[in-house]
């Protein structure tokens, strides 16, 4: 089989969770920096740096989201191929059961991608 859908699905979910966690951390960082009770140039510098760090964290969260989207797209393709392979296998089994097997036809291994190349008339 080509790709464990459950594993891929869990990884997509984990990437999305990580993106949310990173965004939460960015928000918390800014909130904590704004809550610093002291004033002056050093305090403003700290707040500015924390806002910059929060922006970088949010950018990282966006990258996690894009990775999750790409992996989810890949998952759709994996599931489609697995479905097509299963359909081709079932069709071949049905034809064989009906006595319509073609002499010389060598079936690919169960679940193998070569099933995608098998054509039926």
pLDDT tens-digit readout, 66-84 = 999 999 999 999 999 999 9
Segments of the chain with pLDDT less than 70: 1-2, 101
Q: What is the pLDDT of residue 96?
A: 82
Q: How many domains does the chain have?
A: 1
Instruction: Show the domain range for 95.
Output: 5-117
pTM of the shown model = 0.79
State what percent of residues in the chain have pLDDT above 70: 98
Q: What is the pLDDT of residue 72?
A: 98
Q: What is the pLDDT of residue 3?
A: 81
DSSP 10-75: HHHHHHHHHHHHHHHHHHHHHHHHHT----SHHHHHHHHHHHHHHHHHHHHHHHHHHHHHHHHHHH
């Amino acid at each position: 089989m080509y790709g464990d859908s459950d594993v891929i699905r869990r990884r997509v979910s984990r990437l999305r969770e990580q993106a949310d966690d990173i965004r939460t951390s960015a928000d918390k960082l800014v909130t904590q920096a704004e809550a610093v009770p002291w004033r002056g140039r050093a305090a403003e510098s700290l707040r500015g740096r924390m806002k910059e760090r929060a922006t970088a964290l949010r950018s990282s969260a966006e990258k996690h989201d894009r990775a999750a989207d790409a992996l989810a797209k890949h998952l759709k393709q994996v599931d489609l191929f697995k479905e097509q392979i299963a359909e081709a296998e079932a069709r071949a089994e049905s034809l064989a059961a009906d006595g319509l097997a073609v002499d010389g036809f060598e079936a690919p291994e169960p679940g193998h991608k070569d099933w995608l190349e098998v054509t039926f008339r």
